[in-house]
Structures are given as C-alpha cells and as structure tokens.
Structure 1
Amino acid sequence: MSYTPHTVNPDLDLELVREVPVSAEAVYAAWTNPESLKQWFAPRPYSVPIIEIDLRPGGGFRSVMNDPEGNQMMDETGCYLEVIPNERLVWTTALTAGYRPQDGPMHFTAFLELTPTGPSSCTYRAIAVHLDPAGAKQHAEMGFHDGWGTVIDQMVEHIQSH
C-alpha cells in the first residue's frame, strides 16, 4: 500500500466497505474506463450514457445519469485529486478540471481504496467526505449506502462477465 488510508469522521463521512470477488486491478480498470463505467455506474434501471474522464490529478470528470424513461436527472462534474493505479482514486465535486472551484447543491470528496486480499479478491472501501453533518445526512438520505452498494454488485457482475 503506497498511501495512508483515510480516517473516517463519523459525523462528516459516509463509508461503505465490502470484500469483492474480483481483483483490485479489475476494480480499478472498471472505475477508470468510461465504456465500462457506463455499464454499471448507476443502479438499474437508471443509466449513465455519458462518462468523460481525464484520469490524472487535476483532470476532470463528468457523468450524466438518466432515469428509466431516459430523462436526464443529474449532470455531475468534478476533479481527480489523487490517482494511484490499482490502489486508490480520490476525486471531488467541489472542483472541476484544473482544480477550479465550482458551485453546486451538494459537494463531497470521494475516496476509493482497494486492498488485495487474494489473487482474485480485494477489499473495496468507498468514503464520501462532506463539509458538515447536514451534507452527510443529506447524502445518506439520498441513498448513498443502498445506491453505492447496488453499483458495487453491478460492477462485480460486469467484471465477471467480461
């Protein structure tokens, strides 16, 4: 491990930890390939028809989520802060490409930390860090745990089928 794991603040952070039956390398690839992300990044029957990634610190990302009828319900942009292949991704919605601040209804910083537990398995740790307890509560009420848990299952299914 070439980083210090994020220390969770229970008042500000939401955390999801899961052992997954796929390698850290496969998870990292699923998170960093736009065509792969389109297949699993939204809880079905929602979809993510647009994913743009500039995978480097300071690089931007964009994801557009549609409802089951095809209506756009979210267009989110952000900035990668840390990129450690096969180990860790850190990004935020408070900034856009080039570390430029941006307005938005609810900003958070996300940590994805991957720890191999075997040749074909890893610990998947996702953390959403918020400015204040109200932001963490709002994100939890929007379905952070259920939504991110569902997409982990979809990601594993996608990896195993390809």
Structure 2
Amino acid sequence: MNPDLDLTLGRIIRAPRAAVWSAWTDPAEFEKWWLPAPTVCRVDRLDVRPGGALVTRLSEDGVEFVPHVDASFLVVDELERIVFTNAIDSAWRPANPAPVPMTAEITLRDHPDGTDYRVVVRHGDPAARARHEELGFAEGWGSVTEQLAVVAAG
C-alpha cells in the first residue's frame, strides 16, 4: 500500500466469507449492491476469473441505462481475493476510463464476527488518487460496501 497512490477501505461484514464471495460473483446479487442506492445497476457481464469481464450499466430512473464500468479481472483466488482493473476493458484493450483508471484489490478473510473485507484501490499517479478521493471514494465505496454487507447477510 502506497499512501501517495492508493485509497483503502475496510470493514467487518457480519456474514460468512462464502456469502460475501457470492455477492461478488453472482450477477443477480452483484446488481443489488454495486452502485449507491437509489442508482440501479445492470450487469452485462460478470465473468469472475483471470481475464474475465466486469461490465455494468447504471440508471438513475430504472429505465434508461448508460455504460458504467468496462473492466477486466486480473486475479481471482476463490473465497480470498479479487483484483480487477478498468485500465484494460473487457475486450483486453487499453482504456482511458472516466473518472480515473484504477486497479482494485478486494480481500476476504475469516473473522470471528464474519468476514474481514478489505479494499485497496491503486492509481497510477498522485493526481488520479486525489481526483478519486475528491469525487467521493470514501462515501461511494463505503455506501456500496454497506449495501454489500446487507446482501451478504441476507
């Protein structure tokens, strides 16, 4: 973790690790938590394997959906770790995504109260990190992590 380039989030989710993993890997569950409510998520592709795709759309009204994320999974260690990047799109082409290119690493570990859930989002330079932080990284990733906890405990 490099504090000049990375943003982090962690919390204990009161659900088994397998339930948190399922919320990350099952498209129907993923749609329930991936975007801060009341925004609606639609999963176009969720192929959670190295080289697999993460493609989502979002809607403010539940009717008209626009592109949101087009990313590739880099590392998938079942029940333990997911790493994806939006700097390479789902067709493995270099991308320059808005608002910032990033690589996110999600780790899951057993905890006496459920799952120790950690996120590290890496950026290529301090300006990208600062922009992501200014856009509300803590609030955005924090709110979707809360929604993830509700889905996993569900």
The change in CA–CA distance for 1:128 and 1:69 in structure 2 (over 3 A counts) is: same
The change in CA–CA distance for 1:14 and 1:55 in structure 2 (over 3 A counts) is: same
* Percent identical: 32
- How far off its partner does 1:148 sit? 1.1
Q: Distance in 1 between matches of 2:84 and 2:64?
A: 26
- How far off its partner does 1:104 sit? 2.3
RMSD over equivalenced CA pairs, Å: 1.7
Match of 2:27 in 1: 34
1:146 to 135, 139, 151: 139
Report the more deviating stretch, 49-58 or 70-79.
Answer: 70-79
TM-score by length of 2: 0.90
Match of 1:80 in 2: 73
**Which runs of 5 or more residues in structure 2 are unaligned?**
none
Q: Distance in 1 between matches of 2:91 and 2:31?
A: 24
Match of 2:101 in 1: 107
Q: What does the per-residue CA deviation read over 1:27-85, in whole Å, with 9 as the maximum and x for residues that have no partner?
A: 11100111101111111111102341122111111011222465545421111000011
Q: Distance in 2 between matches of 1:50 and 1:60?
A: 11
Q: What does the per-residue CA deviation read over 1:8-35, in whole Å, with 9 as the maximum and x for residues that have no partner?
A: 1001100001111111111111001111
Q: What does the per-residue CA deviation read over 1:116-153, in whole Å, with 9 as the maximum and x for residues that have no partner?
A: 013x6011001110001111111111111111111111
Contact 1:24 1:86 in 2 (8 A): yes
Whether 1:121 aligns to 2:105 is no
Match of 2:55 in 1: 62
Q: Distance in 1 between matches of 2:61 and 2:134?
A: 21
